[in-house]
Amino acid sequence: MEHVWDFSAVFSNWYLLLIGLKNTIVLAVVCLVLGLFFGLFVGAARYSGNRLFNWPATAFVEIFRNTPVLVQIMWFFFAFPIISPFDINAFTAAALGLTLNTVAFSSEIYRAGIQSIHKGQWEAAKALGMNYSQQMGRIILPQAVRRMIPAFMNRAVELVKMTSLASVIAYGELMHQAKTISTIEFNPIEMYTSVALIFFILIFPFTLLVQRFEIRSKAKG
Amino acid sequence: MTEVLKIENLHKSFGDLNVLNGIDLSVAKGDTIVILGASGSGKSTLLRCVNFMEIPSSGRIVLQGKPVGTEKADGINYPEKELTGLRARVGMVFQHFNLFPHMNVKQNVMEGPRTVLKCNQAECARRAEEYLDKVGLGWKAEAFPSQLSGGQQQRVAIARALAMEPEIMLFDEATSALDPELVGEVLETMKELADEGMTMLIVTHELGFAYTVADRVLFLADGKILEQGDPEKVLIHPQQEGTKNFLRGHGSFRLPEPVLD
Ligand SMILES: Nc1ncnc2c1ncn2[C@@H]1O[C@H](COP(=O)(O)OP(=O)(O)O)[C@@H](O)[C@H]1O
Ligand SMILES: [Mg+2]
């Protein structure tokens, strides 16, 4: 079948797509910020020698690493509201799934980053009379975070892509908007091609940045 | 004589491994004490118990006449806060320097006074300048550790410890990781400190240095002090078979004759 490409319906619905793009970015940013923030604590708990912290943190990380994100989002939308005392809309469910997923992954990045710092750095800081939080804050984290940045950036890229999964619970991000428009306008080819292009334009510069950063940090050693 | 440090019947074990089996030692102000012993004899552990990088299994550490920790029925209790305070008063220099690579030389030296002692900017800067000059590296203040030779890095590490104006300095094989031609500059710095009256506990394999600089030499074997005394006595006229064997193993170092008989 010959297909005549016609993007007019894509352009005429630009406003809906823009809303979708905004919602995609909002969801990604919220999940990234919260995920990185709480990931630090879960990472610290996993690193801790104390079983009371270490066990739950490990269980949490393993659950989220070993189940599909789609399942997590569906669970928070369809299953969680039944046992939860408060209302859960599509945004909350998607944000919960993706944030907790990011917490699990970033806690591993923190942990690996911190473990990559030589034991001698802890010792030198300790020998100067620093307490644990000074050792961590002044000596270990500043070095570790530099090594973590490429991994965090990769994670951000993955997260932006994963937001499209929220379309299954009708959160109005880019993918969901595209789905809606394409059923009305009967233009799946143009619509999904455009969405792919928009994602590409959104993500590609970031990927380039990550690559440059990785090369730079490799060169620095 | 002011006693800076006293170690009483110090024991330390890791699980089933008894590393220190009753060490007694008294260190007066200005003393330079060199600790010798085979690898694994517990030299590092001894130093690390003095600044509580390791917690002693039993026994007592007394700093400036004041026992560390609080005596409890089931042993001595060491509150973390007391230990961080104590570590700030005891300087330590490591085999592998352990400078902070994300800070330049000056920041490395200022870090302790700034973060631990909460000195103001002017005081931090004064200390950095004074102690970097003391180790002869004032001109490298803006350099990063990775840009320095091993010997220079170790001298910065010494300046970093000195900037805390410690009551005693611990050196754990400070020259063992250095290329031979860089050992001299670090030993020279340590000797100057000793001459200025710094109280020092030094673990080293440099017997020539021990002979010239030490006020007292201890020989450690199986977690005990096997032999001790002035350098002449321990290094030249050792009494114990263990000490003699150890010194024979270091035969490549030139020392006066009797040691090699
Ligand atoms: N943190 C530790 N855990 C378990 N064993 C240790 C630890 N530190 C040292 N040891 C053991 O204690 C013994 C003495 O070590 P160390 O004090 O480093 O000796 P030295 O400095 O004289 O070579 C060695 O057998 C070493 O393996
Ligand atoms: Mg050692």
The Cα of A123 is separated from the nearest Cα of chain B by a number of Å equal to 8
Structure tokens at A149: 């940045």
What letter does residue A137 receive in the DSSP assignment?
I
Tokens 């699980």 belong to B15
Based on C-alpha coordinates, what's the Rg of chain A?
21
Per-residue 3-state assignment (H helix, E strand, C coil) for B103-150: CCHHHHHHHHHHHHCCCCHHHHHHHHHHHHHHCCCHHHCCCCHHHCCH
- Residue B64 to residue B46: CA distance in whole angstroms: 18
Tell me what pLDDT residue B252 has: 54
Q: Is residue B202 classed as helix, strand or coil in its secondary structure? A: strand
Residue type, A91: F
Give the angle B186-A136-B88 at the CA atoms, nearest 5°: 50
Q: Is the CB of residue B49 below 6 angstroms from any atom belonging to ligand 1?
A: no
- Residue B97 to residue A124: CA distance in whole angstroms: 8
In the predicted model, is pLDDT for residue B102 greater than 70?
A: yes
Contact: A129, B92; criterion CB under 8 Å: no
> How far is the CA of B79 from the CAs of A124, B66, B70, B118, in angstroms?
20, 15, 8, 21
* A128, B162 contact by CB (below 8 A): no
Q: Is residue B240 classed as helix, strand or coil in its secondary structure? A: coil
Give the β-pairing of B216-221 and B32-37.
Answer: parallel
A 10 A CB-CB count for A79 gives 13
Q: Is residue B261 classed as helix, strand or coil in its secondary structure? A: coil
DSSP B25-78: EEEETT-EEEEEE-TTSSHHHHHHHHTTSS--SEEEEEETTEESSEEETTEEE-
A 10 A CB-CB count for B188 gives 15
Contact: A130, B116; criterion CB under 8 Å: yes
In the predicted model, is pLDDT for residue B260 greater than 60?
A: no
Tell me what pLDDT residue B256 has: 59
Which positions 37-66 of B are in contact with A (Cβ < 8 Å)?
51, 53
Residue type, A147: R
Per-domain boundaries in chain B: 3-249
- Residue A2 to residue B52: CA distance in whole angstroms: 80
What mean pLDDT comes out for the span B115-129? 96
Mean pLDDT score of chain B, rounded to an integer?
94
**Residue stretches of chain A with pLDDT short of 50:** 221
Q: Please list every residue in chain A whose beta carbon sits closer than 8 Å to the beta carbon of residue B161.
A: 127-128
Tell me what pLDDT residue A220 has: 57
- Residue B136 to residue B161: CA distance in whole angstroms: 15
Which positions 140-159 of A are in contact with B (Cβ < 8 Å)?
142-143, 146
| pLDDT tens column, B195-242 | 999 999 999 999 999 999 999 999 999 999 999 999 999 999 999 999
> How far is the CA of B223 from the CAs of A186, B13, B17, B39, in angstroms?
84, 10, 11, 11
CATH topology of domain A8-220: MetI-like fold (1.10.3720)
What mean pLDDT comes out for the span B30-38? 96
Q: Look up the CATH number of domain B3-249.
A: 3.40.50.300
